């Protein structure tokens, strides 16, 4: 399938998605969401896939939603555009294998929301993060008001949302928005290493971990514990778990 805004390729067990609108700082428009929606569906059919890496081309990861496109919208169109973005980003959250954001530059507005929808965020030293929507008389529309505080806590989220301040990769690391900061020329190498570490683990265990994390975070603690126990027990019926424990006892690498 040919895409205009996204580039994709799969190496071994990792898929790499690059947002490719460098002249527009990879601004997210309706075509981006359509392409990403289709691409995620295509990738979900790949049973060998163990991780996905999303990055941007040029100086930006994604510098926000496409303001030129939004400037023509009224309430109904704006709500529909928000719903579309939420649907696609929720598909990233629910994607069966971990999704890693390799943030190479500006991750502002919708770009920050895209990064936050990923499971893990690795940033270049050149990366910058922010939610500047209030400066346009807007609020985030792709779950930023909900996912950001769940990621970094309400107070830090409120600061970023209310002030619209842009922060560095190091500050993003301090508040827990990103997990690692690396030099720009080693960003994809580091993201690939993380993907390979994930790929070395039991694939069903990783999928079950992601499901437990995502669903459990939306539940009261006691219900989340019950979910954990149920899914923990279900893995004992799989050949993968038997192989993992047998390999450990025999001091060899498991054959997934």
Catalytic site positions: 113, 133
Q: What angle do CA 96, 150, 100 make, to 5 degrees?
A: 40
Is 60:111 a contact under the CB 8 Å cutoff? yes
In degrees and rounded to multiples of 5, residue 26 shows phi and psi of 55, 35
Place of tokens 């929606």: 37
Q: Strand, coil or helix: what is 179?
A: coil
Q: Which of 209, 210, 204 is nearest to 240 (CA)?
A: 204
Please list the residues that pair with 182 across neighbouring strands: 124
List the end-to-end C-alpha distance of the chain, in Å, as a whole number. 30
């Amino acid at each position: 399938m040919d895409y205009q805004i996204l580039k994709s390729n799969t190496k071994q067990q990792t898929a790499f998605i690059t947002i490719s609108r460098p002249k527009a700082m990879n601004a997210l428009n309706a075509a981006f969401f359509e392409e990403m929606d289709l691409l995620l569906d295509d990738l979900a059919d790949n049973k060998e896939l163990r991780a996905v890496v999303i990055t941007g081309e040029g100086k930006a990861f994604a510098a926000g939603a496409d303001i030129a496109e939004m400037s023509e919208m009224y309430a109904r169109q704006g709500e529909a555009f928000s719903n579309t973005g939420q649907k696609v980003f929720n598909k990233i959250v629910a994607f069966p294998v971990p999704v890693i954001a390799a943030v190479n530059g500006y991750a502002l507005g919708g770009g920050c929301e895209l990064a936050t929808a990923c499971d893990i965020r690795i940033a270049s030293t050149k990366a910058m993060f922010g939610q500047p929507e209030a400066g346009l008389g807007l609020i985030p529309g792709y779950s930023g008001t909900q996912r950001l505080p769940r990621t970094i806590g309400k107070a830090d989220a409120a600061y970023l949302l209310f002030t619209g301040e842009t922060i560095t990769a190091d500050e993003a690391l301090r508040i827990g928005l990103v997990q690692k900061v690396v030099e720009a020329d080693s960003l994809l190498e580091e993201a690939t290493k993380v993907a390979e570490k994930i790929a070395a683990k039991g694939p069903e265990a990783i999928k079950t971990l992601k499901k437990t994390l995502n669903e459990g975070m939306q539940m009261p603690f006691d219900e989340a514990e019950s979910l954990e126990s149920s899914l923990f027990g279900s893995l004992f019926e799989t050949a993968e778990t038997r192989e993992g424990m047998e390999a450990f006892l025999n001091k060899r690498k498991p054959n997934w």
